Amino acid sequence: MIKGVHVVPMGFANAFLIEGYDGLTLIDAGYPNKEAAVFGVIRGLGRSLDQLKHLIFTHGHPDHIGSAAAIVRETGARTYMHPLDIPIAESGGPFRPLRAAPGLLRRVMCKVFFHPDERVAPVAIDQPLTAGEILPIADGIEVIHTPGHCAGQVALLWRRGRMLFAGDVCMNVMGLGDPVGFESLKEGRASQRKIASLSFDHAGFGHGEAIAHDASTRFLNTYGKYSEDVHQQRSAA
């Protein structure tokens, strides 16, 4: 679909495998017991498991770290996460509570899919992510801190592929919209505006279908009125 990126379905959550000259990079690790999906994609590329060099987490929720311990055990991949979520990943939960996002669908999904008391296999994090840094992975992956859904949520902009990995800043289930819930709705809106101000062609989400073309235009159209607020704030400043 998108050159050099493979979507790995891991239950009702996506992980993404990037093929770089410097090896393979996985973004997120899905629900528990889904590691075979990742290994299948790696082997399908004619690669060996030890060629997975990096595992970068968009945030520390159970549906994004669930199979991480098993993946690291088999591959030896180096792990990366924002410092605010590291203690949660390294204890395997419990997780900070969420308030459901506006709307009936999100309220139902939040109840069904998010359980703060859930426990998953703990995963050790090798490297804390810093807001604004460009990781020297796959020719450069920019780390954008995007709290709101989760305090340690980051979006990852893979510059060479012009692809944004949004994690749960938004989801693309029946259209581009909010994630199931927020720790802070206000921060979440600010993060959505931040993403809408970037330029990229493709977007991948923790939940729902990836957008293959003109992705940043879709973000602008969806969060346009929020973006205008930002411009007004900018011109007022």
Q: Which amino acid is at 48?
A: S
Q: How far apart are CA 77 and CA 75, in angstroms?
A: 5
Task: Count the helices and strands in the chain (H runs, E runs).
Answer: 7, 15
- Go through 166-193 and write b for each residue having 16 or more CB atoms within 10 A of its CB, e for each that does not: bbbbbbbbeebbbbbbbbbeebbbbbbb
Other CB atoms within 10 Å distance of the CB of residue 229: 14
Q: Are 164 and 203 in contact (CB under 8 A)?
A: yes
Among 32, 148, 204, 206, contact with Zn ion (rule: CB under 5 A): 206
Site for Zn ion in 112-151 (CB under 5 A): none
User: Per CB under 5 A, does 82 bind Zn ion?
Assistant: no
Which residue, 35 or 85, has its beta carbon nearer to Zn ion? 85
User: Per CB under 5 A, does 85 bind Zn ion?
Assistant: no
Among 157, 168, 169, 194, contact with Zn ion (rule: CB under 5 A): 168
Tokens 């629900």 belong to which residue? 31
Residue 215 CB, nearest distance to Zn ion (Å)? 19
Which residue, 20 or 30, has its beta carbon nearer to Zn ion? 30
Residue 207 CB, nearest distance to Zn ion (Å)? 6
Residue 150 CB, nearest distance to Zn ion (Å)? 5
Which residue, 16 or 20, has its beta carbon nearer to Zn ion? 16
Which residue, 148 or 206, has its beta carbon nearer to Zn ion? 206
